[in-house]
Chain A
Amino acid sequence: MTAAPRPARWPARSRAPRQAPRPGVAGAVVAAVFLGLLAVAAVTPALFTPIDPLETRVLEALRAPSLAHPFGTDQTGRDVFARVVHGARYSLGIGVIATTVAMAIGLVVGTTAGLAPRHVDGAISRVIDVLMSFPEFLLALLVIAILGPGTTSLVIAISVAAVPVYARIARVQTFTVRRSGYVRAAQILGVSTTRSVLRHVVPNTLGPLLVMATIGFGTAIASAAGLSFLGLGARPPTPEWGLILSEGRNFLATAWWIAVFPGLIVTATVISASVLGQHLRARGAGRAA
């Protein structure tokens, strides 16, 4: 009897699951080191390159990559490597601020939903579900459409777009912790709700949120680069990664390096964040994430 195939049930609705390869420890270490180097570049770019990212040298325009200019030079003779190194401050800064804000709002919204009466929780959850069915980039684009272009709107847009993910994790985690034995015991002993939320629920939610934030950080940077590429974020001559790419777009025929190298760094950043996040999750730091 060949029964009709009954589909397995993986209601993987919502955001795309990212079960990338389970990276080994080596991969996670490489990823962490790369992100660490970027962080150093963001704080003290002079450590990596003595060249000024805004200095134009028309005589050295459009030079192919060499020892003096590892990533070549652009149409006005600016060193692309220096621009990428200095750009880390803008791109990483946007990523860190947007992710932190999104996580904070998500924590508040999610915890509120988890503690609130059923109908309030239901309303919040439905809004979260609807927002989660939009990919972050599209959501950020729509927010920017309302706010208008600019770096501030960019940060707000990326934060808003990321909130639903964190809110959902915080809500689930709140439910789990609230029903656990020790919180019930604390309540029986007369610990107030506020206190048990602050002492138990929030700290237990932070772990999974931070794991998610590691991955979300990469997504945020990619979205920021994309929106800046479209001319909706940072303004020239800021060495923001997406902006460098969009300037390189006009010189693909003669100078591919202007666009290719900064993009490679963006990709490497996204991969590193993702690999590191997967590793942390696999280690159990984020059980509910």
Chain B
Amino acid sequence: MSEGPPRGRLAEPVRFLLARLGGLVLVVWGAATAGFVALTLIPGDPVDAMLGVQAQVSEQVRQQIRVDWGLDEPPLVRYGQYLGRLVTGDLGQSYQLRQDVSTVIGGQLPATLQLTLLAMVMALLLAVLAALSARGRRSTRLVSLLELGAVSSPTFWTGLVLITLFVFQLGWFPIAETGSLRALVLPALALALPVAGIISQVLRHGLDAASTRPFATTARARGVSPSRLLGRHTLRHAAADSVTLVGYLVGSLLGGAVLVETVFARPGLGRVTLRAIIDRDLPVVLGIIVLAAVTFGVINLIVDALYRWIDPRMRVTGGTA
């Protein structure tokens, strides 16, 4: 938060990177620990979750299961073992699927990545389009209303409306199909709309601010045409501001993906997450928490590095995670 004047030569890139990597490890460790502690404290026997509610199993078998899974060890020992495995990238075994958690998550990752990437591209295009078309008083009002609508509509509802409209009423898209790119359009659009609304708001704000700055006045005085001024100068400024939003947006997309995948009955991380929550598959839940922490840590690191690169004034050690 506090980016004061540069303090001497403290801020060498290497030092910056090391400090931030340390911070990243700290955040991931914190998330893993918080998740582990919370899941240990929550009442309920993991063996019940493994067997299902209706299972009638003798205490002896239950004890055997506990020993097999190492659940009979004291929590502190299990925490140590958990951290030890985590360091080597081993997220443990799923209670329900009897597979490595990393296999379970990794198998569904491509589907979610496809969806979020297309949504990101769509959101950027829509946002630039919206921000650029808000030129006059009226169009600005209209665009800002559209933004408000897009930001405020729940993703899952937007998805349902899109299905109703384009699948059932107009028949432009197939009903049940998950493989093709065609089937990816509507889910990605549902995911993109709220994000597009946010980017457009920030972009317009940035354009307004940039167009009143001295360099814009100078350019206009030099006789630079409005469209050239926009393309070469103000839009660049505004875009630089939007970089800081990237971390937040990736989060919105991932959170939204859970909803959109449910609405459109698509495979992906969302489905894995939901199943794990409902079945109380604790290792998978922990794995997802760790994955979320790593993703955010890495993205924020990249954003900060990008920002330092774009804006030399940011080259001060510190900043926020």
Binding site for B on A (CB under 8 A): 3, 5-21, 125-126, 129-130, 133-135, 137-138, 141-142, 144-149, 218, 222, 225-226, 229-232, 242, 245, 248-249, 252-253, 256, 259-260, 263-264, 266-267, 270-271, 274-275
Contact = CB atoms under 8 A, between A and B. Distances in A.
Nearest to B236: A5
Given A130-B30, A267-B153, 19 more contacts: A6-B311, A8-B209, A12-B245, A13-B320, A16-B198, A21-B145, A126-B321, A129-B320, A145-B273, A147-B42, A226-B259, A229-B262, A230-B274, A245-B157, A253-B175, A256-B164, A263-B153, A270-B153, A271-B149
A147 B215 CA distance: 54
A133 B321 contact: yes
Interface of B: 1, 3, 27, 30, 35, 38-39, 42, 44, 141, 144-145, 147-149, 151-157, 160-161, 163-164, 167-169, 175, 198, 201-202, 205-206, 209-210, 213, 215, 233, 236-237, 240-241, 244-245, 247-249, 251-252, 254-256, 258-259, 262-263, 273-274, 276-278, 280, 285, 288-289, 292, 296, 300, 310-311, 313-314, 320-321
Nearest to A128: B320
A17 B201 contact: yes
Contacts, number: 193
The 3 closest A-B pairs by CB, nearest first: A263-B157, A7-B240, A21-B144
Nearest to A4: B236
B148 to A, nearest CB: 5
A129 B38 CA distance: 21
A264 B244 CA distance: 31
A86 B148 CA distance: 27
A253 B313 contact: no
A246 to B, nearest CB: 8
B42 A267 contact: no
A271 B292 CA distance: 29
Nearest to A272: B152
Contacts of B311: 6-7, 9
26 contacts: A8-B206, A8-B209, A10-B206, A11-B314, A13-B1, A13-B244, A16-B198, A16-B248, A17-B202, A17-B205, A18-B201, A20-B201, A21-B144, A126-B320, A126-B321, A130-B27, A133-B247, A135-B248, A137-B256, A138-B254, A145-B277, A149-B277, A232-B278, A245-B160, A253-B175, A256-B168
Contacts of A248: 160
Contacts of A232: 274, 277-278
A9 B251 CA distance: 23
A135 B277 contact: no
Contacts of B153: 263, 267, 270
A275 to B, nearest CB: 8
Contacts of A267: 149, 152-154, 157
A18 B148 CA distance: 9
A142 B214 CA distance: 46
Nearest to A172: B1
A133 B259 contact: no
Contacts of B210: 8
A5 B248 CA distance: 25
A237 B314 CA distance: 54
A207 B210 CA distance: 32
Contacts of B263: 249
Nearest to B245: A16
Contacts of B152: 218, 222, 267, 270-271, 274
B276 A145 contact: yes
A130 B31 CA distance: 10
Most chain B CB within a 10 A radius of its CB, from A9, A16, A253: A16
Contacts of B251: 133-135, 138
Most B C-beta atoms less than 10 A away, residue of A135, A231, A264: A135
Contacts of B247: 13, 133
A135 B252 contact: yes
A263 B161 contact: yes
Contacts of A16: 198, 202, 245, 248-249, 252
B280 A148 contact: yes
Contacts of A17: 201-202, 205
A260 B3 CA distance: 47
